[in-house]
Structure 1
Amino acid sequence: MRYILILLIVLLGFSCRKDVLLPSKPAVYQEKFSQLSPSFTQVDFEFSYDTLQKWMQLQPGKTIFQTGSDASIVGFPLQVNMLNKAQIQGNNDRSIQVKIPISFTAEPSLAGFSAGKVNGQMDVSLQADVITKPVSSLSIQQIKYSYQWKEKPSLRVAGFGVNVSSVIDRLLASKQEQLINQVTTQINQTLQVSNLEKMLNKAIHSIPVADFVLHPTLSQIALEKLVFGSTSVRGTVFANSSLVFTNVFDNRVLQKNSIKLISNVPSFVDSGAPFSVQLSWEYLRSLVESQMRIGTKQANLTLTLQTTDTRWIHCTILGYKGKASSFSFDFIPVLLEDNRLSIRLVSKELSGLRFPSTLFKKQVIRSLEKNLNRFNIDPMLFIDRSKWMNSGMIDSDMHIRLDSLQWNQEVLNVVGKIQGKWLIRK
């Protein structure tokens, strides 16, 4: 009898003990979420030369040089196409070498009459110095070139093929300065800030990351460092940006960016990119349901959510204690003081229990409430380094700070800031 009394006292003590709840900030219902204000953050990058050629659409067959009249530099129409992708190699921080296999078609004239088309192929090697600062003056200088014939050109005269490579060699030697000036002008036009901004706008788009889609918005980019390596170009920029992650695969069209390249690198203390994660209620419902099935070993357990009330979310758990059991509760998502996500119950009701579970109804409710109050999500779980690396993004000393929660009938919107460094490698 004494041991039974002690056991009852212990059980009573546990039943009366209350969990200590951390201070929390409740989510706010908002039909439409306000747009994130961008902020500067440091982004290191490394792009292979193959990636850069793809972005610049330098594909085999592309016309890279063309003159269309007899008044051209060489004195006759000339078209130069890429045979294969270019081989690019940086020597140091300021110079670069490019080897391009090309084919050309020329239409020279003799005594005012067309001599027919001349076709040939050669490997052209270019070497140039690159000026990288300020970004508004990005340009190449001091171009030098050399070439080797892959297929020597010939011209058909009176039905016979005549090798004209020596004639073209002399022509290129006499026009070397004009050709260098023309190539320099053409490349520097491509490197003008307005053209680079257009290229960046096309290159920056929505990116799948694990279960989410990342929609970046950029307004300004400041270039701090640019180095031409042997296989890639690398550097550091400061991007004035914001990031929206969503797991709602609605074929969202990325809002058109209007990126501006600026020369002044910003000075700031708190580097970080504002972000929001939009979690659909169906995604959360399915996630929690699968976890509860595993935890309770109830394969038929189901969970439903209703978000029609603007004051709270209604949830029903069916099958927790038998097929007929139903636990219904209203809750509000909250942001805890320790930077985690959780929920706070507003009301609760348990029905459909069978004997002998009806004798322990209060204990069942208390157990469910206790488990629900312990439910939390650590925001660092959003960063799975292996999945981010597969998307070409790597974080360094990354920290997520959560600031607020909003919700509507479709999604839970988590707003915060990603602090640290980004490395984008393509």
Structure 2
Amino acid sequence: MRRVCLTLPTHRACAETIAAVAEEAAHGAAHFGVEVRFLILDSSDAAVRAEHRAAVRALPPAPGVVVHHLDETGQRAVLREAIAACGAGSPERLLDLMLPSRVSYGACTNRAFLVAEALGCSSVHRRDSDSRYQYLDGKPVFPLHHELAALGRRAADVAGLVTRSRLDPACADRPVAVVGGSFVGEMSVDVAEIRRLDPAVYGEVVGLSIPDGYPEIWRANLIEESFRGAGTAAFTADRTTLTAVSPTRVDMCNVGFDREVYGRVPLPPATDTIGSDYFLLHLVHGARLPGVLHNRHIVNYHTGERRSDQGFLAYQLRFAKFLLSAGYFHTVYARMAAAGDTLLDGAGHVRASAVAELVRDSTRLDPAGNAERLDVLDRSYRKLGGRYAEAADLLAARAGQLLDEARQDMADFALLIDAWAPLVHATHSVKGIA
């Protein structure tokens, strides 16, 4: 029986989301005859973990669904076993990249990838702790439905299942590597305030995330679309497109990957950096692997923590690191797009060594561009005043550290790509995951 992993990484209270995602898992098992491993990777504090354990115990039994709730102790045990089995030269360094002490959007998903490998899954489907589903006629519309229908199948065989196809016919024999949608509802609460306070400052700050050299009209459109997902329109009917999926049309709370992608290249383990977990979307697009884009968008909302002063400063740090990582990532993304089919070997598999080389080369970029980004951010935040001036002080005090970290994050990513294949193979020997 085909086995898949529906994963929910979390570091905050989300008992309602656990119940909702479990319902999605049951839907997938019932409609596609698969075994769904619902994997909760829990980095919450002890009190919240207890709430999550209670939420898991309260889940109704569902045929074909197995729930795994791993706290960081359990995750660390799995990682130590796999790292020891793969014979890594620097096991503690590798463990730190997989389970850092700071927030890492890529690392938490990498752990899901490895646990999914240990469980014998053919795909990973990710949701987030602040996810909610849209409804039609009183029933939730689950993204998993489209993910299970297409992932891993030859694109030509999926063409008859979608609303339309915009795929290059030359790619028709390749398997579908990614299926995804976006989110609807309010845009990011953090940058939304900047836009409300001063649209010109918003344009300048968000513009730091756009690659250099874009014509001004394109830059303006990209800035307008950034952080907004799929807008606010309610779901009324399915619309699916077989295509080379644009990374800007998918949110990582609403995505499924075939193991032929994540089994060969991991996500960047950068800490405190939003957007770092979107790398595989760019890799799939650059390598011209087929995907399906759908409109079963997740409903976006923000927890109280995101609206607190402490949450604000934490996010601004992660946003700043995102802007500092942009120069490195944009260089890699452009080179992957230029490489195209040459990123694949003769069997159509991603060549991890080629990706690692591009990532490692990016560390040689002149850091002057990032210093200028910090200057723009500092000037913009001080113009906004209030708590943004406080954020500017925080970033100014850490400027040197942030610049160094942005470069080191890419070097660490290249190191992890080099270690990934033996680590994935070793994970197959891990036993007894609860």
TM-score normalised by the chain length of structure 2: 0.22
Task: Name the larger-Rg structure.
Answer: 1
* Bigger proportion of residues as helix: 2
* Bigger proportion of residues as strand: 1
TM-score normalised by the chain length of structure 1: 0.22
